[in-house]
Amino acid sequence: LDQNLNSNSFGAPSVYHAVIVIFLEFFAWGLLTAPTLVVLHETFPKHTFLMNGLIQGVKGLLSFLSAPLIGALSDVWGRKSFLLLTVFFTCAPIPLMKISPWWYFAVISVSGVFAVTFSVVFAYVADITQEHERSMAYGLVSATFAASLVTSPAIGAYLGRVYGDGLVVVLASAIAMLDICFILVAVPESLPEKMRPASWGAPISWEQADPFASLRKVGQDSTVLLICITVFLSYLPEAGQYSSFFLYLRQTVVLSLLMRSIGNKNTILLGLGFQILQLAWYGFGSEPWMMWAAAALAAMSTITFPAISALVSRTAEPDQQGVGQGMVTGIRGLCNGLGPALYGFIFYIFHVELDAPPDSNGDSSGHTQTHHQLFPQSSIIPGPPFLFGACSVLLALLVALFIPEHPHLGPRPGGWKKHSSPHGHPQSPQLPGEAKEPLLQDTNV
C-alpha cells in the first residue's frame, strides 16, 4: 500500500509538502469559525462556551492519548499513510455541520483520536531536515499553520454574510477534499525504508503507545522537569485562546535573530514576558484598538514554544532527540485537552456567553443571516479567563528562570535508555546526504 501511495507522488519529499498539507487542513477549519459559533449557540443556547470547551477538551485529550500510538505506527508504515488518515478523519465532521449539528459536535469530539496531523507533519519534517535546519523548518510549518487559521475566519465570515453559511461549509469540505487528494497524489514518503523495522509485522511495545510513558520520565532530569512545567503553565492558557492575525509572524526571522543574539533561555523568558503582557492586556482592555495592540504582543509571545523545542533539540544527545521532544510535546498535547475545557469552565463561572436573543435578517439573496456577538453577562469585558492565564504564565516565567542556559539532557544512570529504532532494531548506518533520523522514534509525539 505504501509503495502504491508513494508511486503517485511528485518529486522528493520537502518541507513545502508538509506546509501545504497543514495550510489546507487548518484553512478549511478556519473558514468554519463564524458558522461554528452560530451552530454552537443554536444547539446549546445556554452555556455555549462551556459546551465548546468540553467538546474541544474531549477532542484534545483523545488526541493526546492516541498520538503516541499513531506516531509508533507511522514509524512502521511511513508518514504518508498516516497523513492521509489523520487529515481524512480530522476533516470528516465538516460536512455534518449543516446535515446534523448534534452529529457534527459528536464526530468532532471522537475525531480527536486522529487529530494528530501536526505530530505526523513534524515527524515528516524531521525525516528530511538536518538538525541545524529544524528550527527554521518548524518555524515555517508553525507560521503557515497560524497564517491559515488567521486569514480564513475573516473570509468565512464574509462569505457567510453574503452567501450564507451553507456555501462556507461546502467550500470548507471542498478544501478538505483537495488536501486529501494532494496527499494521495503529490506527497512523497519521507521515511526511508532502512529506517523502518524489517517487516510490517514488527511488534509495537505498550511503552511506545503509552501517552503517559514520556510524562513519567519527566522527573528523572531536573532540567527537563523545569522545561515541562514551563511548557504546561504557559501553553495551558494559549490552548484556550483563538489565534490572531499577528501569529503569522511566529518564529520566522525574529526567532532566529533572538536566539543568536540573546540565547535560548533569554528568548524563552522574553516570550513568556510578552505572553503575560498580552493576556493582561486582553483582561483589562475595553476598546477594540486595545485588542489589536494585544495581538501585536501575541506575535512575540509565540516564540516561547519554538524556542523551547530548539533548546531541547540543540542540547539533547543525538540518540535522545525523540525522548526530549516527546516529553515536551506530550505536555503540550495534554494542554490541548485541558486548556479549552478549563477556559470554557472559567467563561461559565464568570457568565461570559454569546448575546441572546440573536438578530436574524434576510439579505438580498434570500438568505437568513444570524448574527451573534460575544458579551459577558455581568461585566464589560471577558477579563477573568485572560487574567487567570496571565497568572499561570507568570508562574511559568518564575520556573523558567531556573532553567540552565546550556543544559545537558543526556541519559542519567538508571534513567533514559539508549535510543534505538522504535522496535528494538538497530538503525542502519546513515549515508551522506540521506535523510536525518526522525525526532519521533522512541517517545512518539
178 and 221, same domain (yes or no): no
Least confident of 268-272, 281-285, 292-296, 380-384: 380-384
Higher pLDDT, 30 or 213: 30
62: its cell numbers: 483523545
Start-to-end CA distance of the chain, whole Å, equals 24
Domain-embedded: residue 14: yes
Domain-embedded: residue 124: yes
Higher pLDDT, 122 or 25: 25
411: its cell numbers: 541519559
- Is residue 365 classed exposed, middle or buried when 0-12, 13-18 and 19+ CB atoms within 10 A define those classes? exposed
29 and 136, same domain (yes or no): yes
What DSSP designation does 404 have? -
Q: How many domains does the chain have?
A: 2
What are phi and psi for residue 426, nearest 5 degrees? Answer: -65, 145
Domain-embedded: residue 43: yes
% of the chain at pLDDT higher than 70: 61
Alpha carbon distance 260, 263 (integer Å): 6
Angle between helices 134-163 and 33-43 (to 10 degrees): 60
According to the model, what pLDDT value does residue 328 have? Answer: 65
Domain-embedded: residue 443: yes
DSSP-assigned beta bridge partners for residue 359: 371
> Closest Cα to residue 307, out of 384, 350, 255?
255
Instruction: Give the CA-trace dihedral at 65, 68, 74, 76, to 10 degrees.
Output: -130
5 and 131, same domain (yes or no): yes
Residues shown for the chain = 445
According to the model, what pLDDT value does residue 436 have? Answer: 41
pTM above 0.85, yes or no: no
Domain-embedded: residue 197: no
Q: Averaged over 230-234, what is the pLDDT?
A: 80
Give the structural domain span for 164.
1-190
Q: Can you list the alpha helix ranges (DSSP code H) found in 100-251?
A: 101-110, 117-128, 134-163, 165-186, 206-209, 213-216, 222-239
Query: Tell me, what amino acid is at 64?
Result: F
Q: Averaged over 319-337, what is the pLDDT?
A: 61
306 and 272, same domain (yes or no): yes
Q: Contact, 318 vs 266, CB < 8 A?
A: no
Given 135, 160, 190, the domain boundary residue is: 190
Q: Could you tell me how far CA 417 lies from the centroid of its own chain?
A: 28
Alpha carbon distance 160, 336 (integer Å): 28
According to the model, what pLDDT value does residue 72 have? Answer: 73
Confidence band for 422, pLDDT divided at 50, 70 and 90: very low
Q: How far is CA 12 from CA 17, 100, 189, 439, in A?
A: 10, 41, 8, 20
Residue 284 scores a pLDDT above 90: no
Domain-embedded: residue 432: no
346 and 280, same domain (yes or no): yes
CATH of the domain at 50: 1.20.1250.20
Q: Contact, 298 vs 247, CB < 8 A?
A: yes
Higher pLDDT, 162 or 275: 162
295 and 342, same domain (yes or no): yes
Domain-embedded: residue 224: yes
Residue 250 scores a pLDDT above 80: no
Least confident of 100-109, 149-158, 429-438: 429-438
Domain-embedded: residue 419: no
219 and 182, same domain (yes or no): no
Confidence band for 388, pLDDT divided at 50, 70 and 90: confident
3-state secondary structure of 353: strand
86 and 152, same domain (yes or no): yes
According to the model, what pLDDT value does residue 361 have? Answer: 45
On average, the pLDDT of the chain sits at 71
Least confident of 17-26, 316-325, 375-384, 408-417: 408-417
248 and 334, same domain (yes or no): yes
29 and 149, same domain (yes or no): yes
Q: Averaged over 13-36, what is the pLDDT?
A: 90
Given 190, 223, 244, the domain boundary residue is: 190
According to the model, what pLDDT value does residue 6 have? Answer: 53
